[in-house]
Amino acid sequence: MTLNYSKKVIQNFQNPKNLGEIKNADGIGKVGNPVCGDVMWLYIKVEKNDKGKEIIKDIKFKTFGCAAAIATSSMITQLAKGKTIEEAEKISKSDVAESLQGLPPIKMHCSNLSSDALRAAIKDYKSKKKK
């Protein structure tokens, strides 16, 4: 593979999990810029669990970007699914990179937008809830 991607990156690039969109999503996070080469859209569905806490019940993504961008998108959906909103908000760039057994340094910033996308989706959900 181009650059020295880890096995996990290649797996998630080849068979991305939770690909697609959610109709009537509770929150959508749109980040990135096609000029730079990466765009991520993240959709979340939020429900209350039996303890009354809001959790991410479902999450899906659409991504325009390189192998690292697709792999990080796939990874964040796996990390966030089933987590409470508070927990999901804490997922960082380095959490995503570590779960993928690391990313090439050159890809750390440009293609690791997924935690930003998740926070944007949660923000969107919260602002919709206020209305």
Partner 1 sequence: MKTIYFDNAATTRVDDEVLKTMLPYFTENYGNASSIHFKGQEAKDAMEKSRKIIAKALGAKTEEIIFTSGGTESNNLALKGLFFWNKENNTGKDHIITTKIEHDCILNTCKWLERQGAKVTYLDVDEEGFVDLNQLEKSITDKTIVVSIIHGNNEIGTIQDMEKIGNICRKKGVLFHTDACQSFTKTFLDVKKQNLDLVTLNSHKIHGPKGVGALYIREGIKIVPLMHGGGHERKIRSGTENVSGIVGFGKAVDIANKKNVEKMIKLRDKLIEGILKIPKTRLNGAKEKRLCNNINVSFSNIEGESISGYLETHGICTSTGSACASHSLETSHVLKAIGLPPVQSNSTLRISISKYTTEEEVDYFLKVLPGIVEKLRRMSPIK
Q: Between residue 53 and residue 72, which ones bind partner 1 under the rule CB under 8 A?
A: 62-67, 69-70
Stretch that binds partner 1, among 27-35, 48-56, 81-89, 121-129 (CB under 8 A): 27-35
Q: How far is the CB of 103 from partner 1 (least distance, A)?
A: 14
Give yes or no: 66 in active site. Answer: no
Residue-wise burial string across 62-95, b where 16 or more C-beta atoms lie within 10 A, e elsewhere: ebebbbbbbbbbbbbbebbbebebeebbebebee
Tell whether residue 52 is a contact of partner 1 (CB under 8 A). Answer: no
User: CB 10 → partner 1: shortest distance, Å?
Assistant: 8
- The yes or no reply on residue 4 touching partner 1 (CB under 8 A) is no
- Torsional class of 104: left (φ above 0), alpha (ψ -120 to 50), beta (otherwise): beta
Question: Which range of residues in 12-20, 50-58, 86-94, 122-130 is near partner 1 by CB under 8 A?
Answer: 12-20
Number of residues that bind partner 1 (CB under 8 A): 26
Residue 110 is a catalytic residue: yes
Give the residue numbers annotated as catalytic, written as ranges: 36, 110
